[in-house]
Amino acid sequence: MAEEQRKSALTAETGASRRREILDLLADGGLHSGAEVAARLGISRAAVWKTLRRAADELGLEIESQRGRGYRLCRPLELLDAARIRAALSKTAGARVAGIEVLEVVDSTNTRLMQCAADGGACGSVCLAERQRAGRGRSSRGWVSPFGANIYLSVLWRYTLAPAELGGLSLACGVAVARVLKSSGVAEIGLKWPNDLHWRRRKLGGLLLEVAGESQGPSHVVVGLGVNLHLSAEQARDIDQPWSDLTTALGHAVPKRNALAARLIEGLVDALADYGDAGLTPFLADWHAFDAYLGESVEVVTGERRVAGIAAGIAGDGGLLLDTAAGRQCFHGGEVSLRPGAAGTKQKSGFTRKDTKSTENDQ
C-alpha cells in the first residue's frame, strides 16, 4: 500500500510539473503547435493534448485548439515564480522573509500557513497560490480564486505579544496594502473598516487575519491577502457585492503579477515588523487618509443588532467610531455598509458626543 501511494504521489508530481512547463510555453497567449510543445518537453503530442485538456477541466483555463496550427491560451498568463519574487525584494524585506512557497492549487493559503505555524514554521514564511479551492474572506465567506488571475498570498508572523494586543493589526496591514496600490498607480484606493480595499465603492481586495497563541503571549498571526487583478464576469458570478479589479482601475498599466506580489509581501512584512515595535500609532494618519467612508451615513451590523450613524474614523486601538443619536460609539467588530441613498453624501455629525464602547470583537 505504501509503495502504491508513493507511486501515485510521484505520478501526480510529474503531471503537475509537466503541466507547469506547458503553461509556461503557452503563457504568452500565442499559438504553439503540438509538435513544438512535444519536442520541447520530450513527450508525445497525445500527452500534450491530454495535459491541456486536464488543465482546462481542473484549472478552469480557456485553451483554444486550432486544427493544424496548435494551441493558445485565450488570455496570456504570468505565472508566479518564487525566485523572481524574492529577487524583487529589498535587502531589508528579503531578510525578513524566511521562505516563499508558490503552489499551483491549494485549499487556502491561510490554512496552509496556519498548519505551518502549528508545525513550528518560521516567522516570515510566505505562501502564494495560482488558485484556491476554498479561499476564505471574513465571516466565513468564500473568496473567488480563479487560476492565474489575481494575487492570493499569506504571511506567517510571530510576536511576543498576547493575541489581545493584535486587535489593530488588520488595519495596519490594510494601510500597508493601500500604500502599495497607491504607489502602483491606483489613485482612488480606499479602505473600508476593518480590512477591505475599495476602488470607487467597489471591492478590489481584502485581508483575513487569523491569530493564535498563549493568553499572555507569545502569539502568531497569518495574514491572508487577496487582490483582484483580472476577473471576467463569468469568474465573478458568485461575488455578492460590487467588485472591481486592477485591470479596470489601471487599464493597460497593470503591474506584472510577480512584481506586484513582491511589493505586497514587502509592504506586509514591513508593517508586521513595525506593528511589533510601535503598535497601530504609525499607521493612524494614513488610515485616516485612505478612509473611504469617513463622514458617510452608514450602518454597523453586529449579530442581530443594527446601529446607524455617521462614520467618524477609527480610535487609537483600531475600533470604528460612529456618531449616533445616542452619542459616539466605538465598535471592535461587525459589518459596515452604506445606508440606502447615502452614497457620496458625506456629512458632519450634529449629534452630541457621548462616548460608549461596544463589547463585540471579531476583527
* Strands, E assignment, 83-201: 99-106, 125-132, 151-159, 189-192, 196-199
CB half-sphere exposure, 360, CA atoms < 13 A:
17
Site of grid cell 525584494:
89
The residues assigned a catalytic role are 138, 203, 339
Distances (CA, A) of 190 to 285, 334, 361: 13, 19, 23
- Of 168, 137, 193, residue with least CA distance to 309: 193
DSSP structural state of residue 235: T
- How far apart CA 329 and CA 160 sit, in angstroms, is 31
- How far apart CA 4 and CA 102 sit, in angstroms, is 27
Residue 226, beta-bridge partner list: 152, 206
Q: Are 297 and 342 in contact (CB under 8 A)?
A: yes
